[in-house]
Structure formats: structure tokens, C-alpha cells
Amino acid sequence: MRIVIIGDVVGRSGRDAVAKYLPQVRERLRQDYTILNGDNAAHGFGITGKICAEFYEMGIDCITAGNHVWDQREILAYINNDSRLLRPLNYPPGTQGNGFRLETLADGRKILIVHVVGRIFMEPLDDPFAVVTDLVRKHPLGVGIHAIVVDFHGEATSEKVAFAHYVDGKVSCVVGTHTHIPTADAQILEKGTAYLTDLGMTGDYDSVIGMQKHTPVQRFVRKVPGERMTPAGGEGTFCGALIVTDDRTGLAKGIEPIRLGPRIQEAWPKI
């Protein structure tokens, strides 16, 4: 299976970059399934139902969120009616929405998308290691499930790496989101799970992780709260990765980054 996952979309610049580059990605990479992290899609904070609909119209199959999932109040009522929008699985039982999606493709292959948020330097939610272990025990890779993708939305690189090693061989891939900076460590782990610490953001890189530069810079310099941060409005860069899996085992055959647009070095997968 060929799976594209797109890193954190930040504001209008990020949404425009998805609209601009996704058709090129689909034409060139011929993916079977497309996942997008939309945690910052609505003016930098959360996502709305209208934006979800726009992404689905573009060809996105599933949207993950993150620590900003509840920033737009309308999502509290919306998320129960949209099974393609995932909040982190490790919210307490009874929380609105779903933390995973099991989908059958037109050709009969099944993919499981799982979304968790880290606990280091983040809100102390339930243990992501435990909840994913329980889920994949119920839906084992290679036993009717052709691919399992985990979006680990976390601040600490060590937590992401540790998690990936913990589930190595049990899922097809673990990709990190949240830090908005693309990392250069795409690899296949010892037991066959693909890994990348962070996909990077899809947004304007002439910024401080997607936000207009002045306010965050002044917060660091003056050490006092300032005005609310707003997304940078320049041309956006599309960041993500292509993962290729073995349909027989569900394990990874390859993972390579995708980076298209201004300011950072372009990268097209060759797998």
C-alpha cells in the first residue's frame, strides 16, 4: 500500500499549499490513501467542519488533530458526526469523537489509522503506549489489516523515538507531528516499522513555526505575554512523507519525505 501523510497544516497558507501541491503528489506518487494533520488549520488553532469538508473535497481520506483539537468550539458538537476526523486516542473514555479509524479500500485492503498525543511537555493524558498496545492487540497487523499508521503528536523527540521502538513490528509506521520542523531521520526500524520523528508543517516557513514572527520573538525577548499569535500569510510549503508497505505482512518497505514549495529544500520520494 502507498500512503501519503501530510504534516501539520497551519492557517490559510497551509491550506492553500495542500490545494496547490496535492494534485501533483497524487499524479506522481499514485498513493492509495492520504492522511492530513489539521491541528492548526483554522487560523493556527484547531479545525472546523467547513475546513474538514474542504480537505475531503481535495481528496484527503482521514484527518488527525492533536493538542489543539478543541480550540474551535464547534468541533465539540461536530466531531461525533465525522468519523474521518480523529482526536487523540488517549483522551479519557467517553470523550467525544474517535481516536482511530479502520477503513476498507475499494480493492478490499484494510488500513487502520491511529492518533495519539504525547505526554512530555504536553497535557498529561492517558498513556499512549498502553492505548495503542490495546488497540493493535484487537486489530493485529497482517491478520486482516494490511497497514497501520500512527500519527504521534508530541513535543519530545525522545518520547516519539521510544514509542516507535516499543511498537516496532506491530504497526506499519509511526510518524511524528506537532513540532512543525521536518526531521531527516526517515528509516525502517529493526522489526519493520517505518519511522520519522516529525513530518514538518505545511505552511509558511518565513515564520516562527508557522506564526508571524514579531509576536513570538517578542515573547522570548521580553518574557511577558503579548498579543495573540496569528499565522504567517506567505506562500506555504507542503511537507509530509510517503510510506510504502507490504500488503502481505503490513510492514514497511520504504519511507521518504515530501517537501514542495519555497524556502526549504525540495524532496520527492523515489520509492
Question: How many separate domains does the chain show?
Answer: 1
Query: pLDDT tens digits for 164-190?
Result: 999 999 999 999 999 999 999 999 999
Query: pLDDT tens digits for 109-154?
Result: 999 999 999 999 999 999 999 999 999 999 999 999 999 999 999 9
- For strands 252-260 and 110-117, give the pairing: unpaired
Tell me, yes or no, whether 265 lies in a domain: no
The 10 Å Cβ neighbour count of residue 51 is 18
Tell me, yes or no, whether 183 lies in a domain: yes
Instruction: Residue 154: give the domain boundaries.
Output: 2-260
Catalytic residue (choose from 68, 115, 178, 180): 68
Query: pLDDT tens digits for 238-250?
Result: 999 999 999 999 9
Q: What confidence category does residue 224 fall into, taking pLDDT thresholds of 50, 70 and 90? A: confident
Tell me, yes or no, whether 163 lies in a domain: yes
Tell me, yes or no, whether 270 lies in a domain: no
Task: State the CATH number of the domain containing residue 24.
Answer: 3.60.21.10
Q: Is 68 a catalytic site residue?
A: yes
Tell me, yes or no, whether 139 lies in a domain: yes
Query: How much of the chain, in percent, has pLDDT values that exceed 90?
Result: 97
Tell me, yes or no, whether 271 lies in a domain: no
User: Across the chain, what does the average pLDDT equal?
Assistant: 97
Tell me, yes or no, whether 218 lies in a domain: yes
Tell me, yes or no, whether 200 lies in a domain: yes
Q: Which residue type, as a one-letter code, is found at position 112? A: L
pLDDT for residue 227: 82
Q: What is the CA radius of gyration of the chain?
A: 17
Angle formed by the axes of helices 157-166 and 128-138, nearest 10°: 30
CA–CA separation, 45 vs 68, rounded Å?
A: 6
